[in-house]
Chain A
Amino acid sequence: MVSNKVVKVALIGNPNTGKTSLFNQLTGLKQKVGNYPGITVEKKQGICKLNETVKAEVTDLPGTYSINPTSLDETLVLDTLLNENNSSFPDVIVVVVEIENIKRNLLLFTQIKDLKIPTILVINMVDQMKRKGIDIDVKQLEAKLNTKIVLASARKKIGIEELKTAILEYEKLDITSIGKITNRIDKEYFTRLKNAFKEFSLYKSWLLITQNIEFDFLNENQKKLVLKYREDLDCIKRYQHKETILRYQIINEVLKDTLKVDKSKASDLRGILDRVLTHRVFGYIIFAAILLFIFQGIFSWATYPMDLIDSAFANLSSWVKTVLPKGTFTNLIAEGVIPGIGGILIFIPQIAILFTFISILEETGYMSRVVFLMDKIMRKFGMSGKSVIPLISGTACAIPAIMASRNISSWKERLITILVIPFTTCSARLPVYAILIALIIPDKRVLGFLNLQGLTMMVLYLLGFTAAILSAILLHNVLEIKSKSLFVIEMPNYKIPSIKNIFHEVVEKTKAFIFGAGKIILAISIILWFLASNGPSKFKNAEQFITSKEEVKDLSKVAIQKKIASYKLEHSYIGYMGKSIEPVIEPMGYDWKIGIALISSFAAREVFVGALATIYNVDSDENVGTIKERMAAEVNPETGKKRFDFPTGISLMLFYAFAMQCVGTLAIVKRETNSWKWPILQLVGMGLLAYISAVIAFNIFS
């Protein structure tokens, strides 16, 4: 029994075996979980209290099928296990396998066992054993695998305490490897290898020479020796192949007497569902129908709460003006801060609905079927089926989506995926689209049941996806990078979605959107309000200038006040800034006020609505209702028509669909590609595409 120390634990397993769920149960943390592979692309750590005196530092490693890495996230696993100087090098490894895929999952377990590190085997999702007709002889299996086995269900909190006890007693674990594989491959070769690297275990030495990675923890002599062994590539490949076959032979032998599956008890629903959902015709129809349903839902169900929030902020603004003493700070709160924040909070219902649907698709296991379905198509565009997950994750935010591309093994496919992800319609675009659609698309039904606004939203999402695909084709043909492609995807079982997981996911995503973007929007709203409420001499003398004019003498007091407010805004600091860029944005159909919102939203797209809300509030001599009403009331003084008419609305939506208006994404692309070349290419390429399409659309529809 250990005492007064921290036990380092590594959680390892194939993708989608429930490692992260187990990690969350052990540590009490709330890392994202989902029923599709590749959720964990970087290692995550947490602390687990084993008893009153002993704690465990648990590291959740990315899912991997073996310790022969094919992608960046899998390399991370190997480095953690081989490098004893790595801060996460474990005292004990917990290998997580899934009840239905034990045979395939055990390949990784047998490799880990050969590293001579104490290992515990967790058979997860055991709550499904009975229903699947599976029976395991745990005692016999433990004896054959020389390990401690814990039957667990992370989702149902089964076996967690037993696992903690097993971790506490890790020093008692048997570290004997299974089957003496190396002797059966080529005894003489492996004896030579053992003598060459006396300081390492035999299997570790084998891994050092089989991986095409430069290990920093080796000294110069060891590095030279590794390179010498790697010269005989044919031999290594042959022995690796032999190793895999032998391991599966051993696993088959072990499971023959210890695992029983009664097929008659097992439900064949999965097979039927798979055939339908991945069908080469129906699969795509179902996927399109699901997307259509989601976007219908976003518009139909979110309208009422959105109107409620919008009115609440309009009322709050008026109330603040009446309650607080008159002055500039009161104006800042009522005209700058409240409309700016209201402009972002209004979209909570739509974002929550979108993420609820996405979480349900992930939780049920449907997302993996989509990946499988799309692989053939994606391959034609220079991407992998695995690119679908980052592209779908991009509907939330491009940053985690770009990180999710780490499990794509081919560098070219990964680079293309990274470069095209920002075209996916992220949640930051949703507020911009939502307000513009509400202004220019009538709220009516098509074919009796389809909401036209919802349909437009879906078209915009598809437009983003199409732009991503077309750019991928272009990049596939232009980029001269040679790399091998490998596609392996786990087909998880279908599951009833966990309400707790969905709720947690939706709350986290919405919170991230509100607090991540909210602080920036609040800061920008304050600055915008200041720039719009102050200006040089013409601004200061606005009242005197307007009232001295002959033509205003017959106007009502309210009309005169409105003229003064407009004149002030035009001659404020922000007015001059907007006017200076007007010649550039005029061909897209925008005036200087929209130009200001465009500049402000360069850092983050969703600032656009909040910025316009602030500008139109300052422009008004009184509070005239909701953001939507203020935007709808805005008139183009030259034409007398509405400012947000159909051509301008379409032009703006296209601009936001294509432009790279996100500083955070640029930074993460730089980090992931380790070069400024790619983010600059994205910024310029997407910016040009956005500008040209907006100009063309405005001129066609005008």
Chain B
Amino acid sequence: MQDILVYIALGLAIGFLVKKYFFKSKKKRKCDSDCGC
């Protein structure tokens, strides 16, 4: 069970990073200081 949870967490982490850096939202955002760097 714990192994399954680890793989889910890993999948979510990879998915999040791929989405953030490779599939940026086309929606125009107002960037103030929330830059994520």
Set A325, A328, A397, A519: member contacting B33, Cβ < 8 A: A397
User: Which chain A residues border B36 with CB–CB below 8 Å?
Assistant: 516-517, 519-520, 604, 664
Q: Are A509 and B33 in contact (CB under 8 A)?
A: yes
Q: Does A512 reach chain B (CB closer than 8 Å)?
A: yes
**Chain B positions 4-25 with a Cβ under 8 Å from a chain A Cβ:** 5-6, 9-10, 12-14, 16-17, 20-21, 24
| B33:A398 contact, CB within 8 angstroms | no
A327 to B37 alpha-carbon distance, docked (Å): 33
CA distance A564 to B11 in the complex (A): 28
Residue contact B6 to A328, C-beta cutoff 8 Å: yes
Those of A527-560 within 8 Å (CB) of chain B = 527, 530
Residue A508, interface by CB 8 Å:
yes
Q: Identify which of B2, B12, B14, B20 gathers the most chain A CB atoms within 10 Å of its CB.
A: B2
Measured in the bound complex, the distance between the Cα atoms of B3 and A327 in whole Å is 8
- The residue on A at minimum CB distance from B5 is A329
Q: Are A329 and B6 in contact (CB under 8 A)?
A: yes
Chain B residues, Cβ within 8 Å of A403: 31
Cross-chain contact A530 with B32 (CB below 8 angstroms): no
Q: In whole angstroms, how far apart are the Cα atoms of A44 and B37 in the complex?
A: 23
Of A527, A603, A664, the residue contacting B14 (CB under 8 A) is A527
- Residues in chain B near residue A397, CB distance under 8 A: 33, 35, 37
Contact status B32-A32, CB under 8 Å: yes
A515 contacts B9, CB within 8 Å?
no
> Do residues A664 and B35 form an inter-chain contact, with CB atoms below 8 A?
yes
- A48 vs B31: C-alpha distance when bound (angstroms): 22
Chain A residues contacting B35 (CB-CB under 8 Å) are 397-400, 512, 516, 664-665, 668
Cα A516 to Cα B20 in complex, Å, equals: 11
Q: How many residues of chain B get a CB closer than 8 Å to chain A's CBs?
A: 23
Is A42 an interface residue, CB under 8 A from the partner? yes
| Residue of B with least CB distance to A324 | B2
CB closest chain-B residue, reference A422: B37
How extensive is the interface on chain A, given as a class?
35 or more
Contact A664 B37 (CB under 8 A): yes
Asked if B26 lies at the interface with its beta carbon under 8 angstroms from chain A, I say: no
Residues in A neighbouring B34, C-beta threshold 8 A: 512, 515-516
**CB < 8 Å: which of A42, A332, A520 contacts B6?**
A332
- Contact A605:B16 (CB < 8 A) given known A399-B31, A400-B31, A512-B32: no
CB contact between A668 and one of B2, B14, B31 (< 8 Å): that residue: B31
Q: Is A635 an interface residue (CB 8 A)?
A: no
Determine if A428 and B30 form an interchain contact, defined as CB atoms under 8 angstroms apart: no
Q: Is the CB of A330 within 8 A of B17?
A: no
Q: Do A526 and B32 touch across chains, with their CB atoms under 8 A apart?
A: no
Restricting to A34-56, which residues have a CB under 8 Å from any CB of B? 42, 44
Contact indicator A530/B37 (Cβ below 8 Å) = no
- Min distance, Cβ A406 to any Cβ of chain B, angstroms: 12
Which single member of A513, A527, A604 contacts B13 (CB below 8 Å)?
A: A527
Determine whether the beta carbon of B16 is less than 8 Å from that of A523: yes
Knowing A332-B9, A520-B20, say if A662 contacts B37 (CB, 8 Å). yes
A44-B17 in contact (CB<8A)? no
The answer on a CB contact under 8 Å between A603 and B21 is yes
Give complex CA distance A519, B36 in Å: 9
Asked if A450 is at the interface of the complex by the 8 Å CB criterion, the answer is: no
State how many angstroms separate the Cβ of A60 from the closest Cβ of chain B: 11
- The complex places the Cα of A515 from the Cα of B33 at a distance, in Å, of 11
Q: Nearest-CB distance from B24 to chain A (Å)?
A: 8
Find chain A residues with CB under 8 A from B24 CB.
667
The answer to whether the Cβ of A416 comes within 8 Å of any Cβ in the partner chain is no
Taking the nearest CB of chain B, how far is it from the CB of A34, in angstroms? 13
**Complex CA–CA separation, A102 to B36 (angstroms):** 41
CB-defined contacts of A513 to chain B, threshold 8 Å: 33
Counting chain B CB atoms within 10 Å of each CB, the highest count among A327, A329, A400, A517 belongs to A329
Interchain residue pairs with CB less than 8 A apart (13): A32-B32, A327-B3, A329-B5, A332-B5, A396-B33, A400-B32, A523-B14, A526-B10, A527-B10, A527-B13, A603-B17, A663-B37, A668-B35
Known: A328-B6, A516-B33, A663-B37. 16 other contacts (CB 8 A): A42-B30, A44-B30, A329-B2, A329-B3, A329-B6, A332-B9, A398-B35, A399-B35, A399-B37, A523-B13, A527-B10, A527-B17, A603-B17, A664-B36, A665-B35, A665-B37
Taking Cβ atoms with an 8 Å cutoff, the residues of B that contact A are 1-3, 5-6, 9-10, 12-14, 16-17, 20-21, 24, 30-37
